[in-house]
Amino acid sequence: MIDELEQIKQARYAIGVAESLEKVSGILGALNGGYMNVLVTTEETAQKILE
């Protein structure tokens, strides 16, 4: 499992797809942890992430 997580961090693109205000903390964790560097989400969720 650890090797797979490291592969994700080293990928050129790690795309996450998530939306809802309840998932903002998880989305931020994944972004800050380097597990995704591209996010597909709704405008509402994006605004909350940027606050």
What pLDDT does 5 receive? 87
What pLDDT does 28 receive? 98
Query: Please, where are the H alpha helices in 1-51?
Result: 2-10, 24-32, 43-50
What pLDDT does 39 receive? 98
Token reading at 12: 């050129």
Q: Which residue ranges of the chain lie beneath pLDDT 50? A: none
Hey, what amino acid is at 2? I
What pLDDT does 33 receive? 95
What pLDDT does 18 receive? 97
